[in-house]
Chains A and B, each alone.
Chain A
Amino acid sequence: GDSVTQMEGPVTLSEEAFLTINCTYTATGYPSLFWYVQYPGEGLQLLLKATKADDKGSNKGFEATYRKETTSFHLEKGSVQVSDSAVYFCALTPNDYKLSFGAGTTVTVRA
């Protein structure tokens, strides 16, 4: 079945550091790919998405590119802030909107 493998955390960074969270997937066909973020005490929020190969999703300084050849959707941000501290989930759906999530990566940014 469809699955998502996500870089294990926790990840601790200093402010203004570069963040990368690796995500690879296994799926039949052409799934849509997502990054969700869960801030402390809040529900999951969609951070960005890409629906086809070579699409780049971006939001709040975060970017991820749908790479079909490597079945990857790595999340990057060039300069993190303390407010980026959260749990990040990579997810996919084969377009029936049933999401399969990765394990989540906890990111802590220190001032």
Chain B
Amino acid sequence: GAVVSQHPSWVICKSGTSVKIECRSLDFQATTMFWYRQFPKQSLMLMATSNEGSKATYEQGVEKDKFLINHASLTLSTLTVTSAHPEDSSFYICSARDLGWGAGEETQYFGPGTRLLVL
């Protein structure tokens, strides 16, 4: 099946620094990718929709200047957490939308997640 990778799988950084997380669709092209945040023992919260070649669409309450999203190619979206603070520590998950072969065949494939710890 389709595979979505994320890099890095975990990262520790100092407060005030920026961290970039990559999301790649490995065997299909994805015009749309999504970024989620998952807190411990809680559900996934959609942060933003990343569209190839255009600006990302952010969910209400998500700071677009804090979480910069770039979808520069059909197989890569990046999330940069700028000026990270301890409250940004979380598990970040991306997904990529595979259009499949026809109507009703669309599926989202999820990456394994990136754990961010800001000290």
Cα separation A52 to B55 with both chains bound (whole Å): 32
The A-B contact count (CB < 8 A) is: 43
- In the bound complex, CA of A51 to CA of B95 (Å): 20
Interface membership of chain B positions 75-119, coded 1 if the CB is closer than 8 angstroms to chain A and 0 otherwise: 000000000000000000101010000001011111111000000
Contact between B43 and A89, CB atoms less than 8 A apart:
yes
Known: A44-B93, A45-B110. A98 touches B34 (CB 8 A): yes
Determine which of A46, A97, A100 lies in contact with B97 in the assembled complex, contact meaning CB atoms within 8 Å: A97
A89 to B46, Cβ gap below 8 A?
no
A59 to B89, CA, bound (A): 35
Given the complex of chains A and B, what is the CA–CA distance between A103 and B38 in angstroms?
Answer: 10
The residue of chain B having its C-beta at the shortest distance from the C-beta of A93 within the complex is B108
Find out whether the CB atom of A43 lies under 8 angstroms from the CB atom of B43. no
Pairwise interchain contact B44-A89, C-beta atoms closer than 8 A: yes
B113 lies within 8 A of A43 (CB): yes
Size category of the B interface is 20 to 34
1/0 per position for A33-46, CB-CB distance to B under 8 A?
00010000111111
Residue of B nearest to A104 (CB): B43
Partner among A43, A51, A98, A100 whose Cβ is within 8 Å of the Cβ of B93: A43
Q: Which of B43, B46, B112, B113 contacts A98 (CB 8 A)?
A: B46
B112 close to A43 (CB less than 8 A): yes
Please, could you name 29 A-B residue pairs with CB atoms under 8 Å apart, sorted by A? A41-B112, A42-B112, A43-B4, A43-B6, A43-B93, A43-B112, A44-B95, A44-B110, A45-B110, A46-B107, A46-B108, A46-B109, A51-B104, A89-B44, A97-B34, A97-B97, A97-B106, A98-B34, A98-B46, A98-B49, A99-B34, A99-B44, A99-B108, A100-B46, A101-B43, A101-B44, A102-B43, A103-B42, A104-B42
A interface residues (Cβ-Cβ under 8 A, vs B): 36, 41-46, 51, 89, 97-104
